[in-house]
Amino acid sequence: MTLPALDRTPVATRTNRVGLLLLGLLLLAGGVVGLVVSFGGFGDGRQQRPALDPATRSFAAENTWFWIAVAGVALLVAILALLWLRAQLSTSRLNTINLESDRSRGATSLEVSALERACSGELESRRGIGRASAVMLGSQYYQRLVLLISLDGREPLRAVDNGIQSEVLPKVRQALENPDLPVRIEYRLATHPVRVAS
Amino acid sequence: MTVKLTNRVLAVMVALALLVLSVLVLVEIVWILALGGTQPVVLPYPPVTDYLAELTWNSAPARAILIGLVIVGLLLIAAEFRRSKPGLLTLASSSAPVTAGVERRTLQKAAAAAATDVDGISTARARVSRRQVNVSAVSGLRDGGGLQDQVAARMQSWIDELNLASPPALSVKVDQGRSR
């Protein structure tokens, strides 16, 4: 069983994938249709004509609406390109979480960076962990905590994992008042384990 | 460079190119239709249209361009459907709503380090995939009888200690009589 690498910008990843796939399909379709024309698939007369034939040029020159339509398409493409660029800046990282769902009872919010700092501090104080960071992803309605933990080799992975799952996660869930908070833990093993004398 | 990063760089370049080109086209159209311009203002398009007016579909340059489009299109499609290497190998302790895993790249380095724990092994390399851990170790000993078994036993216990949900199969190769 495997997990894909953590994606903190899922919207950008999906948009890029769809955009580049569409571009690839467009280029492939254009190339194939052009090659069919080039090899006489639409008749011998067509393959000997220029890519931009005089009839097309005069049609474009005589019809103003054609250029208005081209301008409309160009505007649409510009808007889509801007949205595509804006998607690159999107992130699913949270800044605050509303702890009070009932507005009539006031507003209580939690600054996520404080929780992330407390969480990474707690993790780094544990034996076997060299460095740790915590990131809260999602939205106001669905949160997911991601823990990135680099082991220092002084404790086996299994012991570190047991400690985190049984001691650290219950505290975080209690702080967030969310006993079912989804958590993803990513371990980075020590590449030069420290040898401990037994 | 990961697939995601390559996609991001490519996406930014394509989006910027589309944005610039479409704005230039808009400027040219507004310049000519609304402002009565007769010559291009920012986009020098006449050489391009003149070239296309002479380029016949069955000419070699036209075919080269079209084949280029097909190749680039196929490469883009293939890149988007390519299956990326797993980022993490899941631990057996994972159970909803907790998912825990070990990063594959550090697993490779740690596996190589674990193999060198065996006396007689000077260097080792490891490759980890979804289903297999391949360890290639080098020993400087000329007579390293049983070294392969020792490395295999060490690595198997190392893999077992990790407590992976689906422990990968182990393959060990020890190159004896030389050192790197």
pLDDT band at A83 (very low <50, low <70, confident <90, very high): very high
Residues in CB range of B31: below 8 A, 6 or more apart: B37, B41
A5 falls within a domain? no
Answer whether residue B69 shows pLDDT above 90. yes
Inter-chain CB proximity B66 and A31 less than 8 Å? yes
User: Of A53, A87, A121, which residue is a domain's last?
Assistant: A87
Asked if B91 and B165 touch (Cβ cutoff 8 Å), the reply is yes
Residues A29 and A54 in one domain: yes
- Helix pair B60-81, B3-29: axis angle to 10 deg: 130
pLDDT at position B3 over 90? no
Chain B residue numbers with beta carbons less than 8 Å from the beta carbon of A71 are 25-26, 29-30, 33
Rounded-to-integer distance, Cα A62 and Cα A59, Å = 5
With 90 as the cut, is the pLDDT of residue B43 above it?
A: no
**Residues B52, A50: C-beta atoms closer than 8 Å:** yes
Residue A122 and residue A74 share a domain:
no
Q: Are residues A108 and A82 located together in one domain of the fold? A: no
Give yes or no: residues A45 and A114 share one domain: no
| Angle between helix B46-54 and helix A54-62 axes, rounded to 10 deg | 140
Of A77-91, A176-190, B73-87, least confident by mean pLDDT is B73-87
Q: How far apart are CA A187 and CA B33, in angstroms?
A: 62
8-state DSSP, A140: S
- Which of the residue ranges A172-181, B10-19, B119-128, B149-158 has the most confident prediction, judged by mean pLDDT? B10-19
Q: How high is the mean pLDDT of chain B?
A: 87
For residues A111 and A167, state if they share a domain: yes
Q: What is the pLDDT of residues A39-75, one digit of tens each?
A: 888 877 888 888 888 888 888 888 889 999 999 999 9
- pLDDT value at position A198? 41
Could you tell me the pTM of the whole model? 0.71
Boundary residue ending a domain (A60, A87, A114): A87
Task: Say if A194 falls within a structural domain.
Answer: no
**How high is the mean pLDDT of chain A?**
87
Look at chain A and report how many structural domains it folds into: 2
Q: pLDDT band at residue A197, thresholds of 50, 70 and 90?
A: very low
Stretch B136-163: mean pLDDT: 85
Interface test with A, best of B103, B105, B160 (most A CBs within 10 A): B103
Same domain? For A78 and A101 the reply is: no
A12 touching B (Cβ < 8 Å) = yes
Distance CA A91, CA A8 (A): 6
Looking at chain A from residue 103 to 132, which residues have their Cβ under 8 Å from any Cβ of chain B? Answer: none
What three-state secondary structure class fits A149? Answer: strand
Rounded Cα distance, A163 and A173, in Å: 15
E strand segments, chain B: 88-90, 98-103, 121-128, 132-139, 169-175
Task: Indicate whether A106 and A184 sit together in one domain.
Answer: yes
ipTM of the complex as predicted: 0.71
**Amino acid (one-letter) located at A83:** L
Is B144 in contact with B174 (CB distance < 8 Å)? yes
| Residue-range definition of the domain harbouring residue A69 | 10-87
* Sign for the pseudo-dihedral over CA of B136, B137, B141, B143: negative
At residue A105, does pLDDT exceed 80? no
Asked, for residue A198, whether it belongs to a domain, the answer is no
If you average pLDDT over residues B123-143, what whole number do you get? Answer: 86
Tokens matching residue A11? 């919207």
CATH of the domain at A135: 3.30.360.10
Reply yes or no on whether the pLDDT at B177 is more than 70: no
**For position A4, what pLDDT does the model report?**
73
Residue B129, pLDDT above cutoff 80: yes
Distance (Å, whole) CA A85 – CA B23: 15
Is residue B124 within 8 Å of residue B115, measured between CB atoms? yes
Distance CA(A41)–CA(B66), nearest Å, equals 15
Instruction: Average the pLDDT over A103-121 and give the result.
Output: 84
User: What are the structural domains, with CATH classification, of chain B?
Assistant: 3-81 (no CATH), 89-175 (3.30.70.1350)
Tell me the one-letter amino acid at B55.
L
